[in-house]
Amino acid sequence: MADKNQTAVTGFLFVGLTDRLHQQVGLFVMLLFIYLVTLGGNLGMITLIWIDPRLHTPMYFFLSHLSFVDICSSSSIAPKTLCDIFAEKKGISFMGCAAQMWFFGLFVATECFLLASMAYDRYMAICKPLLYTLIMSQRVCVQLVAGPYAMALISTMTHTVLTFCLPFCGRYMAICKPLLYTLIMSQKVCVQLVAGPYAMALISTMTHTVPIGVLSGLIITISYVCILVAIMKIQTADGRRKAFSTCSSHLAAVSILYGTLFYIYVVPDSGSFLDINKVISLFYTVVIPMLNPPIYSLRNKEVKDAFKRKFERKKFLIGS
């Protein structure tokens, strides 16, 4: 398309989730509740890990950063979404959209790599228990946390810059559905990319999805294959159950996140794409950050015991 026929895009308009007032009220209350639970649950998890010396282990060190990332990813989406529910004109500026895409993509990518680091930690704990404390030193744990932030930063920066170098026009997005999820929560961006820059858009998507999905997923898969082999070698059923129970919370978190990502990036679009994926993107961007605290607290005896100790101590201090 000739340059003279192009119009500079200064912002995006959202179609929103619903135009009915009673549904908007219900949606606002639901999203606000989920957001507050996300903040409270993840802040509570971080605080509990910080104040309880028995949780000062590599696994909970990673979990505290996972909770921090969940807070940040939810906060990059939920406040703007809540503000736009009742807005007559829903929209965002071009630079605001780029910033939101960058922050959300950064924290989601970091979470994927953190889950890979946690899978490696579980591999070392089960497959090499005698060397675990020696190998998983404080320095190694810091590196396994700093690495996800660094890789996510590079990947997301490249993806965002390449994406927003593309020319936008028209009413619908006609390039790749992952952008519908990483741009703005479930408010569909009404844009269409001109036919020319498909190659750049594909490069943009590949620089983001390949290192995140494939690399982190490969690390997790290899770690759990080795863990499964090690568990099968355990002679007693009780020993196998205890070994597997140490991975159950992490497996649940991985299954939820990667199952959703698989649907977003791999499953072909259906005829009801917009309707179905409003729910999917709502779950992906708002609900998932809320799930990790209950997953790790309800399925983890150490976290439940730490919470009981702090709760009983508080009751004792109040009673005395």
**Which domains does the chain carry?**
11-209+221-265+277-310 (1.20.1070.10)
Q: Read off the pLDDT of residues 122-134 as tens digits, 9 standing for 90 and up.
A: 999 999 888 999 9
Of the two residues 2 and 37, the one the predictor is more confident about is 37
| pLDDT for position 121 | 94
Helix (H, G, I), strand (E, B) or coil at 164: coil
- The pLDDT confidence band at residue 58, using thresholds 50, 70 and 90, is very high
User: Which pTM was predicted?
Assistant: 0.81
What is the average pLDDT across 99-109?
87
CB 216, CB 110: distance < 8 Å? no
Of the two residues 302 and 248, the one the predictor is more confident about is 248
| pLDDT for position 113 | 93
Of the two residues 4 and 61, the one the predictor is more confident about is 61
Of the two residues 96 and 43, the one the predictor is more confident about is 43
Of the two residues 180 and 151, the one the predictor is more confident about is 151
Note the residue count of the chain. 320
| pLDDT for position 8 | 54
What is the average pLDDT across 86-111?
81
Among 204, 208, 155, 214, residue whose Cα is nearest residue 175:
204
CB 10, CB 96: distance < 8 Å? no
Q: Read off the pLDDT of residues 279-305 as tens digits, 9 standing for 90 and up.
A: 777 787 888 899 888 888 766 777 777
In whole angstroms, give the CA distance from residue 233 to residue 312.
40
With pLDDT > 70 as the criterion, what percentage of the chain qualifies? Answer: 70
| pLDDT for position 80 | 83
Q: Tell me the CA distances in angstroms from 182 to 284, 286, 294, one per residue in order.
A: 10, 12, 25
| pLDDT for position 310 | 66
Decide if pLDDT at 5 tops 60: no
| pLDDT for position 211 | 65
Of the two residues 258 and 274, the one the predictor is more confident about is 258
| pLDDT for position 301 | 72
